[in-house]
Chains A and B, each alone.
Chain A
Amino acid sequence: MNCIIIDDEATARAIIAQLCSNISSLNVLEEFPNAIQAIKYLNQNDVDLIFLDIHMPDFTGFDFIQTLKNPPKIILTTSDSQFAIEAFEYDCIVDYLVKPITLPRFEKAVLKAKSTAIEAISTEMSSSKNIEISSGNDLYVNIDRRLIKINIPSIYLIEAKGDYINVKTEDKNYTVHSTLKKIEDKLPNDLFLKVHRSYIINTKKIIDIEDNSVLIKKDVIPVSRSNRPELMKRLNLL
Chain B
Amino acid sequence: MEQPNLSYIHNLSGGDKNFEDKLIAIIKTEFPKEKKIYYNNIKSNNFKEASENVHKLKHKISILGLEKSYEVAAEFENNLKANCTGGQNDFDIILQLITDFIDTL
**A-to-B contact residues, CB < 8 Å:** 8-12, 14-15, 18-19, 22, 55, 57, 79-80, 99-100, 102-103
Whether the Cβ atoms of B62 and A100 lie closer than 8 Å is: yes
Q: Mark B41-78, 1 if CB is under 8 A from A, else 0.
A: 00000000000100110111011000000000000000
Dominant SS at the B interface? helix
Supply 4 further A-B pairs (C-beta < 8 A) apart from A19-B12, A79-B55.
A11-B27, A14-B19, A14-B23, A79-B56
Q: How far is the CA of A19 from the CA of B23 in the complex (A)?
A: 13
Whether the Cβ atoms of B58 and A18 lie closer than 8 Å is: no
Whether the Cβ atoms of A100 and B8 lie closer than 8 Å is: yes
Q: How far is the CA of A18 from the CA of B18 in the complex (A)?
A: 11
Q: How far is the CA of A55 from the CA of B56 in the complex (A)?
A: 9
**What's the nearest-Cβ distance from chain B to residue A120, in Å?**
31
Known contacts A11-B59, A18-B19, A102 near B11 by CB under 8 Å: yes
Known contacts A18-B12, A22-B14, A103-B12, A12 near B59 by CB under 8 Å: yes
Contact partners of B11 in chain A: CB under 8 A: 102-103
Whether the Cβ atoms of A99 and B30 lie closer than 8 Å is: no
Contact partners of B14 in chain A: CB under 8 A: 22
- Listed by A's residue number, 27 A-B pairs whose Cβ atoms lie within 8 Å are A9-B30, A9-B59, A10-B26, A10-B29, A10-B30, A11-B23, A11-B26, A11-B63, A14-B22, A14-B23, A14-B26, A15-B23, A18-B12, A18-B13, A18-B19, A19-B12, A55-B52, A57-B52, A79-B55, A79-B56, A79-B58, A79-B62, A99-B59, A99-B62, A102-B11, A103-B11, A103-B12
Known contacts A9-B59, A57-B52, A100-B63, A15 near B12 by CB under 8 Å: yes
